[in-house]
């Protein structure tokens, strides 16, 4: 009798964990889908605004375009992945759920660092990039920058000061699937 109760308890706990896993998976899929929808909508508006600026360069260190109360610095493109994403001016956890964000640095100073979630609609496909692949960035003034991936590395989750190490023109980073490490892509102009 007691063994049946223990057996039933383990089965119940197992079913609860399976259910919670399904809920978490559904939530992640929903967040990825939402981010993809928002990024595509913003990207179209951002491209139109950049074209309207027609190469006007402002004196600010980081030129921005405001769309729906959020500020963007440009569009990052991955030709080998057939992916284009708007990039927000400032990183914070809530904003990064919409599009990749500037973590620090600037394109004009050849020190731009961009963080993106590991959603498939954001930086989740970066793992398939290789050294030598191109990364393009179009700033809000209409200037195009062509980068080449020169190095990839994996760093610990809390070792964020390593992201800023070295003389790289562009650095991209995202979480690994388990969230315990960061994938870092170093690029040269």
**pLDDT of res. 181:** 84
- CATH classification code of 2-188: 2.40.260.10
Q: pLDDT tens, 84-94? A: 899 999 888 77
CB 173 within 8 A of CB 115: yes
Highest mean pLDDT: which range of 51-60, 85-94, 140-149: 140-149
Answer yes or no: is pLDDT of 56 > 80.
no
Q: Mean pLDDT, the chain, as a whole number?
A: 82
**pLDDT of res. 136:** 95
Q: Calculate ∠ Cα 44-142-61, nearest 5°.
A: 110
Q: What are the φ/ψ torsions at residue 114 (nearest 5 degrees)? A: -120, 130
CB 102 within 8 A of CB 62: yes
Sorted by where each begins, the domain ranges of the chain are 2-188
Residues 43-49 have a mean pLDDT of 74
Answer yes or no: is pLDDT of 14 > 90.
no
Strands 134-139 and 112-115 come out as unpaired
Contacts of 44 (CB under 8 A, 6+ apart): none
**pLDDT of res. 112:** 92
Answer yes or no: is pLDDT of 62 > 60.
yes
């Amino acid at each position: 009798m007691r063994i049946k109760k223990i057996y039933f308890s383990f089965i119940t706990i197992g079913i609860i964990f399976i259910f919670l896993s399904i809920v978490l998976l559904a939530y992640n899929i929903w967040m990825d889908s939402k981010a993809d929808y928002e990024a595509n909508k913003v990207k179209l508006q951002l491209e139109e605004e950049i074209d309207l600026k027609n190469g006007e360069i402002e004196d600010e260190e980081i030129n921005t375009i405001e769309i729906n109360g959020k500020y963007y610095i440009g569009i990052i493109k991955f030709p080998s992945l057939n992916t284009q994403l708007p990039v927000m001016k400032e990183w914070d956890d809530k904003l990064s759920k919409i599009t990749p964000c500037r973590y620090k640095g600037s394109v004009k100073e050849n020190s731009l660092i961009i963080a993106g979630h590991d959603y498939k609609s954001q930086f989740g496909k970066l793992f398939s990039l290789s050294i030598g692949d191109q990364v393009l960035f179009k700033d809000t003034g209409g200037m195009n920058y062509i980068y080449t991936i020169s190095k990839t590395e994996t760093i610990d989750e809390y070792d964020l000061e390593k992201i800023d190490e070295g003389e790289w023109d562009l650095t991209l980073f995202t979480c690994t699937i388990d969230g315990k490490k960061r994938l870092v892509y170093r690029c040269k102009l």
